[in-house]
Amino acid sequence: MATDPSAPPRAASFEVNAETADETLIAGFSQFGLAGLTAVDYLVDHFEFEPVGNVTADRLPAITPFENGRPRHHTRLFSHADRDLTVLVGELFVPAWAAESLSEAVLEWTRTNRVEEIAILQGMTIPHAPEEHEVFYVATDDYRDHRLGDADVTPMAQGFLDGVNAELVARGLESSLRTGVYLTPVHSQAPDVEAAIRLLDAVSSVYGLELDTGPLEAFAGEIREYYEELSKRLAEQTQAEVPDDRMYM
């Protein structure tokens, strides 16, 4: 019997290899515009977070990033002795059909390590005017009550989350895990530095990080060529793997 070339591969599986975690996990994944990924990467670099673990993938087309001849895991976890934050930097594109498996692995790890909160940084592809360059949120009630009472962040009017973000927020609705997604419009260039700065400004305000985003332009310039190649690879995969973005204001 011939194999249907349009059918997804066998179910992917993921494993989180980290034994410790902090109360809050801030995550950025490889998505269009790379704003969330750029933001968490800069967060790790700026505050000199230390690597504490990684996420491995099975039965999924993988990448192995490298820098100065040294390979690294595509999805990594970082922490800091003086901050109650763990940061997840996810450079691997995860198609929609594998999102549930990744979410299950991350959520099992949060349960085991008593993580109480997840914040996801993401760019969104929606038509927008220049004055609509701001950050929005989608968050569970307990996250809003705990973090957003006095925050200057606008709730997203309506729309849909999909992929990993949808899976994580859905679990937040069913459990005590506080879950929030920070969203901002992105453009096609990679990385969209202005969008990443908006996300960082919002999360810095909410979490009291006192983060200087001024050097981000230079930081992004250093990694632009790498991110451009990652974005090209992401675009090639998303043509077949990801439906049109249904988020709207």
pLDDT tens, residue by residue, 85-139 = 999 999 998 888 888 999 999 999 998 898 999 999 999 876 655 666 899 999 9
**Is 201 contained in some domain?**
yes
Higher pLDDT, 166 or 222: 166
Least confident of 15-19, 45-49, 100-104, 217-221: 217-221
Higher pLDDT, 231 or 13: 13
Instruction: Give residue 79's pLDDT.
Output: 93
Number of domains in the chain: 1
**Is 141 contained in some domain?**
yes
β-strands 83-90, 154-155 pairing: unpaired
Least confident of 2-16, 19-33, 134-148, 187-201: 2-16
CA 101, CA 220: separation in Å to the nearest integer?
31
β-strands 13-17, 50-58 pairing: antiparallel
- CATH number where 197 lies: 3.40.50.10900
**Is 248 contained in some domain?**
no
Q: Looking at residues 205-231, what average pLDDT do you find? A: 77
Instruction: Give residue 245's pLDDT.
Output: 47
Average pLDDT of the residues of the chain: 83
**Is 8 contained in some domain?**
no
Instruction: Give residue 203's pLDDT.
Output: 94
What would the pLDDT profile of 62-74 be if each residue is shown by its tens digit?
788 888 899 999 9
**Is 43 contained in some domain?**
yes
pLDDT exceeds cutoff 80 at 200: yes
pTM of the entire predicted model: 0.83
**Is 149 contained in some domain?**
yes
Instruction: Give residue 215's pLDDT.
Output: 86
Instruction: Give residue 138's pLDDT.
Output: 96
For residue 30, what are the domain limits?
A: 19-241
Q: Which two tokens stand for residue 8?
A: 């997804």
Instruction: Give residue 241's pLDDT.
Output: 52
**In terms of C-beta density within 10 A (0-12 exposed, 13-18 middle, 19 or more buried), how is residue 188 classed?**
exposed
Instruction: Give residue 159's pLDDT.
Output: 85
Helix (H) or strand (E) holding 123: strand 117-124
**For residue 39, what are the contacts with CB-CB under 8 A and spacing of at least 6?**
28, 121, 196, 197, 199, 200, 203
Q: How does DSSP classify residue 158?
A: B
pLDDT exceeds cutoff 50 at 247: no
Q: Are residues 105 and 15 in contact, defined by beta-carbon separation less than 8 angstroms?
A: yes
- Angle subtended at Cα 89 by Cα 20 and Cα 218, rounded to the nearest 5 degrees: 130
**Is 186 contained in some domain?**
yes
**Is 9 contained in some domain?**
no
pLDDT exceeds cutoff 50 at 1: no
The residue behind tokens 């001849």 is 69
